Amino acid sequence: MTADPRLDGRAVRRIVYTEAEIATRVRELGDEITAWYPDGDLLVLGLLKGSFIFLSDLVRKIRRPLHVDFLVAASYGDAMVSSGTVRLVYDPETGLEGKHILLVEDVVDSGRTLNHLMSLLTERRPHSLEICAFLHKHIAVNLSHPTKFVGFAAPNEFLVGYGLDHAESFRHLPYIASLQ
């Protein structure tokens, strides 16, 4: 692999998904979501920070009216493994009752964050509530709500790029890479 100056000398194990593969899959997801939600109020709710690049690209590929809001939950800090404790740092200001809610997540791994958020969002009585994950590791044994839309099945490795980080680094990479 040619050295990528954006890595500032830090090594990655491999490129998992290229920029071109990501663009193609995001376009396909936009088509799937457009078909799934033909009418009604759609709120695309991005889980920050990891989903922001994916969400930005995705909403531009959904061909129907929608609104966007965000929430922030923390479970990693600077670690490479989830702490298991989920804290809601920012709660959406938009009312959720009666709306179609599409929660956009960067990666589904342990499922703890999603289980916590789905429980919280369900209490707010949306018309429907679905999950769109850019990456799904398929290792969550107790995921309480299925992921309706999945960009890619992901290896059980620590992945960075396209919004995913390690200690706030690597988000700016236009591809998904596995750290060494």
Burial of 124-158, coded b for 16+ CB within 10 Å and e otherwise, reads eebeebbbbbbbbbeebeebebebbbbbbebeeeb
**Is 109 marked active-site?**
yes
CA 84 from chain center: how many Å?
A: 18
Check: CB of residue 92 under 8 Å from CB of residue 46. no
- Annotated catalytic residue within 57, 106, 109, 165: 109
**CB contact at 8 A, 135 and 161:** no
Catalytic residues: 109
